[in-house]
Chains A and B, each alone.
Chain A
Amino acid sequence: MAEKSIPALMAPARQRDNPLTRSVAGICGMVVLAILVLACVGTLPWTLGTPAGENQARYEQGTLAGALLPPAWAPHDETEQAQLRRFAELRATEEIVRADPDAIDHPAPTEEQIRASTPRPLFGTDKLGRDLFIRCLTGGGISIGIGIAAAAISVVIGTLYGALAAYIGGRVDALLMRIVDVLYGLPYILLVVLLAVAGDAIVSEMTTKQAARQKWMEEQTVLVLQSEGQTDATRTTAREALDIRSDLQRELRDRLEQEIDAGRLPRLKPTELSPGQRKALEVGILLVAIGGVSWLTMARVVRGQVLSLKAQPFMEAARAMGVPGWRQFLLHLLPNLLGPIIVYATLTVPQAILQESFLSFLGIGVQEPLPSWGNLAADGLKELNTIKTRWWLLLFPCVLLATTLLALNFVGEGLREAFDPKRSRN
């Protein structure tokens, strides 16, 4: 039987090689990364939220009775079993009390009730009895968030810096790149520490000022209350009085303004920091610090690219066409840089996450009680001793961190492959 053939002209279009699917590792990385990001960042509102009727956010909830329990699915030794049993009994009793608070004599919890109240922490609990799974999720959200934000900062600074240096050229280029060389020479940890300490100082100064004002308000209230005949007034009762009596509050605020104007009390910016804002500010400073030191490589890469692009005939053609300088830069140069910028941005994210974790591990990054993979790992390391090994505290944050970094690197490599101009286009 003769084989059927068709002329080349009539052949169906060849299946196009999709550049994004060239690298299997890249696709696996992307899938893993998507799951991790969804799990960690997507659950942030829940883990950072406070359940109704409680005053602690989910990630910081825990009781000492349930401290250092291994993961529910892992083997428990005798002491751990005993502790788990005690904790379960305690919780069951609490449950009965809560159901019927007025009863004088509560029955002991039945075996069934105890089993129902046995906690099943997926990743175990830490030394304050907090659920490690929730803390890993929160920490992951914070780490990934800082990583992406810091990478974005570094991409913006690095691209503009490197591109401008190369585009202007000459002495300006030399000067700008020598600055980069000097910054390269400094240990980046030192820079981050300096920035973080400076940020901390600002935050703490603001909180001290705020505390000083609060103290003054309360002392004045005590005086007012005493003059009103309430001789046993203390600062605690004053605080309560302040909350109730708005007239007193208003009057004192006016006097506070006068005191501040007279210079006897520190001036504070109109926006006062709530604890939540303070945490956000600390994280913000951290990511600016990391982003601020990781743009150096980006600047060098972009500079090299711009130098070679600048010499391309199409840039000369643009000049010969009378395109103004800024337009050449923004519309003819930058779009050509998109490939390398995206690749390096993806590779900067894991770097930033690693730096954040490293700093948190050292204790200068994200501060307790806010978790990050770095300070969770640091906590876990402290529990790794010769007498009793609480392996889960170290294992889970590290595995999550490593998986994320690996996935990000695979994605970066995949993208590099996809944007590689040496690969054929069809």
Chain B
Amino acid sequence: MTTTPTATPKTEAPKVAKAANPKHAKRDESTPILRVDDLAVSFDNAKGPRIQAVDGVRMSIYPRQTLAVVGESGCGKSVTAMSALRLVPMPPGRIDRGAIHFDHQGKMIDLVKIPDPEMRKVRGGEIAMIFQEPMTSLNPVYTVGDQIVEAITLHQNVRTAEAYALAARAMTDVGIPDPESRLKAYPHQFSGGMRQRVMIAMALACEPTLLLADEPTTALDVTIQAQILELLNELQNTRQMAIMLITHDLGVVAENADVVCVMYAGRVVEYANVFELFSNPLHPYTRGLFASIPKMHGRLKRLITISQVVDNPEEFKKLPGADRGIRPWWPWHEPPKDLKPKPGPAGDYYLQEVKPDHWVGVWRTGAVEDHESRAPDLQYRVDDDPDKPTSLKPTSPAAG
């Protein structure tokens, strides 16, 4: 971390004070910072039944870990993240059931249930969020300095002058040169990549323990995308921050994620560490995703589509334990005949640990009922893996 030229000893004071903050004490990295447990969110639909955006999602994030949530539009990625901050508009939205346990300075709290004033302290202070649209995520009528300072003063008890020094340092941290003069600039004077840096500076100004990055690089071009992700990675390591990275770019996942959670139609279909998932995708939908990536080598008349893979019944028989009657869950299929649903919503589905540290969403058949598994929970970090593979090559079932 570089200090700004104006950071006088006086403005260094809050930094020392912050180190004593329990939030920033050396964190126990072996307990998850966020655990989503059987979360279900639905939206009111004027013309028909409620829309179930998220149904029975389970996941967990450890400090200094990046969990990538991937899936196509409308699969519930963003709603899951928004629920963690209770930003889902209610009405029409509603959290039907489930809990989101968050490690709030050593104490587990349920973000679904805590009262609003406490939620406001968590927002920005403990959990920060960056959005897909850097062009419109900044208020056009204020200078970026004012906006970062507001974020700081909302959660930290500092004077305005100190807040400006902190804001300048936050700008330096995200790689914006000459922060003093840039603080006085308005958002329209920045380019998209710079604005996303400002958003990150704003999100990180209060040193959150968890960052929800909702497609942070989708609106940026590839070079800026790489820079932003590199920046996030660096900041994650220096601050022990956990990141939930929502994306539909598998390249971004391969480069940055530790653990990957694939979602479809509001449910988790596959959950594993990034190498395991890329080298050994078990759910047909995941295989379809990988198959649809165009390859550099070999000529194809037509590109492979996801539906080409998932429409093939053979694909659904490849799961370990298929012989025992474990079938991948797929909303477009008829449920198998030996389905033994639990009463209540999403009772026909189960997130089963089909092999160690690899979960797949399956039908709740009799075979599954006999082998109840633990909830997805992976304390895996790529950086800590001594024998990590050198490259990621998704297997292509259609080609094979």
Chain A positions near chain B (C-beta within 8 angstroms): 170, 312-314, 316-324, 331-332, 335-336, 338, 425
Q: Does B100 reach chain A (CB closer than 8 Å)?
A: no
3 interchain residue pairs of minimum CB distance:
A322-B123, A322-B124, A321-B124
Inter-chain contact B124/A313, CB cutoff 8 Å: no
Inter-chain contact A313/B131, CB cutoff 8 Å: yes
Surface stretch bound by A, among B55-63, B132-140, B221-229, B331-339: B132-140
Residues of B within 8 A of A312 (CB): 136
Inter-chain contact A322/B136, CB cutoff 8 Å: no
Residues of B within 8 A of A320 (CB): 85, 87, 123-124, 128-129, 131
A321-B150 Cα distance, complex, nearest whole Å:
9
A338-B138 Cα distance, complex, nearest whole Å:
17
Inter-chain contact A323/B154, CB cutoff 8 Å: yes
Inter-chain contact A321/B123, CB cutoff 8 Å: yes
Inter-chain contact B137/A322, CB cutoff 8 Å: no
Inter-chain contact A321/B151, CB cutoff 8 Å: yes
Chain A interface secondary structure, helix, strand, loop or mixed? helix
The residues in B between 85 and 101 inclusive whose CB is less than 8 angstroms from any CB of A are: 85, 87, 91
Inter-chain contact A314/B124, CB cutoff 8 Å: no
The residues in B between 111 and 161 inclusive whose CB is less than 8 angstroms from any CB of A are: 119-125, 128-129, 131-133, 136-142, 150-151, 154-155
**B44: shortest Cβ distance to chain A, in Å?**
11
CB nearest neighbor in A for B129:
A320
CB nearest neighbor in A for B132:
A313
Residues of B within 8 A of A335 (CB): 139, 141-142
Among B87, B123, B139, B142, max chain A CB count under 10 A is at B139
Among B125, B132, B137, B140, max chain A CB count under 10 A is at B137
20 inter-chain pairs at a CB distance below 8 angstroms, sorted by A residue, are A313-B132, A317-B199, A318-B139, A319-B85, A319-B87, A320-B87, A320-B124, A320-B128, A321-B128, A321-B151, A321-B154, A321-B202, A322-B120, A322-B121, A322-B122, A322-B123, A322-B124, A322-B155, A323-B120, A336-B141
CB nearest neighbor in A for B133:
A313
**B246: shortest Cβ distance to chain A, in Å?**
13
Inter-chain contact B122/A317, CB cutoff 8 Å: no
CB nearest neighbor in B for A310:
B89
A321-B127 Cα distance, complex, nearest whole Å:
9
Inter-chain contact B129/A323, CB cutoff 8 Å: no
A425-B188 Cα distance, complex, nearest whole Å:
9
Residues of B within 8 A of A318 (CB): 139
**A16: shortest Cβ distance to chain B, in Å?**
14
A26-B136 Cα distance, complex, nearest whole Å:
31
Inter-chain contact B150/A323, CB cutoff 8 Å: yes
Residues of A within 8 A of B139 (CB): 314, 318, 332, 335-336
A170-B138 Cα distance, complex, nearest whole Å:
26
The residues in B between 300 and 357 inclusive whose CB is less than 8 angstroms from any CB of A are: none
Inter-chain contact A313/B137, CB cutoff 8 Å: yes
CB nearest neighbor in B for A336:
B141
Inter-chain contact B121/A314, CB cutoff 8 Å: no
Residues of B within 8 A of A170 (CB): 91
The residues in B between 240 and 277 inclusive whose CB is less than 8 angstroms from any CB of A are: none
Residues of A within 8 A of B120 (CB): 322-324
CB nearest neighbor in B for A312:
B136
Q: A336-B141, A425-B188 are in contact. Are A319 and B136 (CB under 8 A)?
A: no
Residues of B within 8 A of A336 (CB): 139-141
Inter-chain contact B136/A313, CB cutoff 8 Å: yes
Inter-chain contact B87/A316, CB cutoff 8 Å: yes
**A313: shortest Cβ distance to chain B, in Å?**
4
Residues of B within 8 A of A425 (CB): 188
A170-B44 Cα distance, complex, nearest whole Å:
13
A269-B140 Cα distance, complex, nearest whole Å:
52
A312-B87 Cα distance, complex, nearest whole Å:
14
Q: A321-B151, A323-B154, A425-B188 are in contact. Are A316 and B123 (CB under 8 A)?
A: no
A425-B189 Cα distance, complex, nearest whole Å:
10
Q: A313-B136, A314-B136 are in contact. Are A319 and B123 (CB under 8 A)?
A: yes
**A171: shortest Cβ distance to chain B, in Å?**
10
Residues of B within 8 A of A323 (CB): 120, 124, 150, 154
Known pairs A317-B137, A319-B87 / 10 extra A-B pairs, C-beta < 8 Å:
A170-B91, A316-B131, A317-B199, A320-B87, A320-B128, A320-B129, A322-B120, A322-B122, A322-B154, A335-B139
A394-B126 Cα distance, complex, nearest whole Å:
71
**B43: shortest Cβ distance to chain A, in Å?**
14
**A390: shortest Cβ distance to chain B, in Å?**
54
A317-B130 Cα distance, complex, nearest whole Å:
8
Inter-chain contact A322/B125, CB cutoff 8 Å: yes
A137-B132 Cα distance, complex, nearest whole Å:
59
A417-B85 Cα distance, complex, nearest whole Å:
40
A331-B140 Cα distance, complex, nearest whole Å:
12
Residues of B within 8 A of A322 (CB): 119-125, 154-155
A114-B70 Cα distance, complex, nearest whole Å:
100
The residues in B between 154 and 212 inclusive whose CB is less than 8 angstroms from any CB of A are: 154-155, 188, 199, 202-203
Residues of B within 8 A of A324 (CB): 120
Residues of A within 8 A of B131 (CB): 313, 316-317, 320
CB nearest neighbor in B for A331:
B150
A335-B140 Cα distance, complex, nearest whole Å:
9
**B29: shortest Cβ distance to chain A, in Å?**
26
Q: A319-B123, A321-B202 are in contact. Are A314 and B150 (CB under 8 A)?
A: no
A409-B368 Cα distance, complex, nearest whole Å:
75
A313-B82 Cα distance, complex, nearest whole Å:
13
A170-B91 Cα distance, complex, nearest whole Å:
8
**B152: shortest Cβ distance to chain A, in Å?**
10
Residues of A within 8 A of B154 (CB): 321-323
**A340: shortest Cβ distance to chain B, in Å?**
13
A123-B245 Cα distance, complex, nearest whole Å:
77
Residues of B within 8 A of A332 (CB): 139
Residues of B within 8 A of A316 (CB): 87, 131, 137
**A220: shortest Cβ distance to chain B, in Å?**
67
A336-B141 Cα distance, complex, nearest whole Å:
6
A170-B93 Cα distance, complex, nearest whole Å:
13
A322-B127 Cα distance, complex, nearest whole Å:
10
Residues of B within 8 A of A314 (CB): 136-140
Among A314, A322, A323, A425, max chain B CB count under 10 A is at A322
**A414: shortest Cβ distance to chain B, in Å?**
21
A323-B154 Cα distance, complex, nearest whole Å:
7
A335-B139 Cα distance, complex, nearest whole Å:
10
Residues of A within 8 A of B136 (CB): 312-314
A336-B186 Cα distance, complex, nearest whole Å:
14
A324-B132 Cα distance, complex, nearest whole Å:
23
CB nearest neighbor in B for A314:
B139
A321-B125 Cα distance, complex, nearest whole Å:
7
A314-B132 Cα distance, complex, nearest whole Å:
11
A48-B223 Cα distance, complex, nearest whole Å:
72
**A383: shortest Cβ distance to chain B, in Å?**
54
